[in-house]
Structure 1
Amino acid sequence: METGFEPDALACSGAWEGNVTPQQADVEAQLALDFAPFVGAGADFSFVGKSDDADNGPFTSNPMDTTGTLNFDVPITGFFAVALKAGDAFSVYLFDGGVAGLTSIDYSTLGVSVNQDGQAQDLSHATLISVGPFAAPIPEPETYALMLAGLGVVGFVARRRKR
């Protein structure tokens, strides 16, 4: 699939209206559906940071052109997503950094937002979104204590009935 990225994006979600941050919960829920064929059902999406954050978040800079390169502070391994914000819209793209990791991606905002003449609009910022397997909640110690107490009571009652 030709996406205007190097390396090519695996999939895209969008274009969405507005800004990604105020819609974070909705975006994460939609990405779980849109990207499930690639990352599996129940994947967990978490916002890492934006290129217009202080110190550029997880990026080395905040490029603001219609095409360019997004460089990461550290190599990104496994599945991850990048949201590109241009004009009054954003789109989210899925990548696979593999085991070695990706240190950068070349981007184009053509699939994000165009002006009335069909020209791509400049990048406002990029957002890095981590993708991980769904993690079942780990029970708190109090839950284990309550379960053990319940089993103790059941054992005590069963022992008394045997006599």
Structure 2
Amino acid sequence: MKLLVQKLAAASAILAFAFNAHAAIGSASAADVTLDGQAADAFAYEAGWNPHAGPNGDTSGFGTAFDGTGTESFSLLDKYDHDEGFANLGPLTFTFSETTGNNGLWTVTNTSATSNITLDLVFAIHAGNQGGAWLFDNQTVLAGQTLQGDWEILWTVGQGQGNSPDFSNLTLFSRDVVTTPVPEPGTYAMLLAGLAVTAVVRRRRKS
């Protein structure tokens, strides 16, 4: 009887832990962050994780979930918090704003006029001693283009208390960055001229 009671107590503890772990996440999902009208492709969450930590950020909260191999193949792209804004050192620049403490807007701009950029982009927020990361897989930002999105924190503080924590900081990571030159106007002109000549030749052959 004593052994049975111990087993039941252990099972109850496991169930309570599983319930509380789920409740701590709340309703957070990939749909909480969008870019160019599209929800993120994947979402990862970890309690006690701060993606902002260290000079190069911390990818441990999503490295396995987004990479699939357990290796951390993502690199720091930029950081933002209330005290220091984005560095915006590369061709991709960012803005970030808060409507309230747990939702707002963000943008990414390709400042290059001559190259399109495609990358795996991770948008990672720290709030309430917890971290959430959203993956935009194979995201393209055309030359000179600005994409706007929104964000919202929907995980809860503590054991399912039902209140979302306020934003603390944002960290952006990238992987598989590909830069593609945009054809010059002269190239388009030559292409159109070639198509016109081809059309004339075809008409003559039909005649």
Shorter-chain TM-score category?
Answer: 0.5 to 0.7
Q: Structure 1 residues 29, 69: CA separation in 2 closer, same or farther (over 3 Å shift)?
A: same
Asked if 2 retains the 8 angstrom alpha-carbon contact of 1:109 and 1:121, the reply is yes
Asked if 2 retains the 8 angstrom alpha-carbon contact of 1:36 and 1:43, the reply is yes
Which among 91, 95, 112 is matched to residue 60 of structure 1?
95
Alpha-carbon distance in 2 for matches of 1:110, 1:71: 20
Q: Is 1:96 aligned to residue 126 of structure 2?
A: no
Partner AA of 1:57 in structure 2 = A
Q: Is 1:3 aligned to residue 31 of structure 2?
A: yes
Partner AA of 1:49 in structure 2 = D
Q: Is 1:72 aligned to residue 108 of structure 2?
A: yes
Give per-residue Cα distances to partners, 1:67-120, cap 9 Å, x unaligned.
111223537732110111112111111113633466232111113x43664121
Asked if 1 retains the 8 angstrom alpha-carbon contact of 2:57 and 2:76, the reply is no
> TM-score when scaled to structure 1?
0.60
> TM-score when scaled to structure 2?
0.49
Report matched runs for 1:1-163 at 5 Å: 3-6=31-34, 7-22=38-53, 27-28=58-59, 31-36=62-67, 44-52=73-81, 54-58=84-88, 59-63=94-98, 65-74=101-110, 77-96=118-137, 98-100=139-141, 103-111=147-155, 113-114=156-157, 117-132=161-176
Partner AA of 1:114 in structure 2 = V
Aligned match of 1:153: none
Asked if 1 retains the 8 angstrom alpha-carbon contact of 2:66 and 2:135, the reply is yes
Question: Structure 2: which 5+ residue stretches go unaligned?
Answer: 1-28, 89-93, 112-116, 178-207
Q: Structure 1 residues 72, 31: CA separation in 2 closer, same or farther (over 3 Å shift)?
A: same
Alpha-carbon distance in 2 for matches of 1:24, 1:30: 16
Asked if 2 retains the 8 angstrom alpha-carbon contact of 1:77 and 1:96, the reply is no
Q: Structure 1 residues 33, 129: CA separation in 2 closer, same or farther (over 3 Å shift)?
A: same
Asked if 1 retains the 8 angstrom alpha-carbon contact of 2:30 and 2:134, the reply is no
Aligned length: 130
Q: Structure 1 residues 72, 2: CA separation in 2 closer, same or farther (over 3 Å shift)?
A: closer
Question: Structure 1: which 5+ residue stretches go unaligned?
Answer: 134-163
Helix, strand or coil: the match of 1:3? helix
